[in-house]
């Protein structure tokens, strides 16, 4: 497909369960971002990759959150021992240009994964 693809679209997890969320960015896009969006709020930055390098993970809320992009394309966001406060929509975005200098990149978002932790 031409856009950013995320899977699954919906995930229900029991508290304490580990989950893995997948993002397929637009082919050739260098930059990849993960955001967390709570209900009724704007997205909040989690982490950023330039190709396979994770250059910024300042937004990850705890060490239970881990992201990887081993071949510089598909990325996985893993949440270990999920808690109820992890319930949110997780958005992935990609952009063509790398960062550095003036960041004027436009980000293309996937539809998100809605995670519900019971």
Partner 1 sequence: SQQGEEDPQALSIQEGENATMNCSYKTSINNLQWYRQNSGRGLVHLILIRSNEREKHSGRLRVTLDTSKKSSSLLITASRAADTASYFCATGPLSGNTGKLIFGQGTTLQVKP
Binding to partner 1 by residue 56, rule CB under 8 A? yes
39 lies in the binding site for partner 1 (CB under 8 A) = no
Query: How many whole angstroms separate alpha carbon 21 and alpha carbon 71?
Result: 16
11: Cα separation from own chain's centroid = 14
**Coarse DSSP helix, strand, coil percentages of the chain, rounded to the nearest 5 percent:** 5, 45, 50
Q: What's the CA gap between 39 and 57, in Å, rounded?
A: 22
43 binds partner 1 (CB under 8 A): yes
- Kindly tell me which of 1 and 101 has the beta carbon lying closer to partner 1: 101
- Work out which of 42, 63, 71, 84 binds partner 1, going by CB under 8 A: 42
Q: Interface with partner 1 includes 4 (CB under 8 A)?
A: yes
Q: What SS3 class is residue 71?
A: coil
Contact positions vs partner 1 (CB under 8 A): 4, 31, 33, 35, 40-45, 48, 55-56, 59, 91, 93, 95, 97-112
């Amino acid at each position: 497909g031409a856009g950013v693809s995320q899977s699954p679209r919906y995930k229900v997890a029991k508290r304490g369960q580990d989950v893995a969320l997948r993002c397929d960015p637009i082919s050739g896009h260098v930059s990849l971002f993960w955001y967390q969006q709570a209900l009724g709020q704007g997205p909040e930055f989690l982490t950023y990759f330039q190709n396979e390098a994770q250059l910024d993970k300042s937004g990850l809320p705890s060490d239970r959150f881990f992201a990887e992009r081993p071949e510089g394309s598909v990325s996985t966001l893993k949440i270990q021992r999920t808690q109820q406060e992890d319930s949110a929509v997780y958005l992935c975005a990609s952009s063509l240009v790398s960062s550095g200098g003036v960041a004027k990149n436009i980000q293309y978002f996937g539809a998100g994964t809605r995670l519900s932790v019971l």
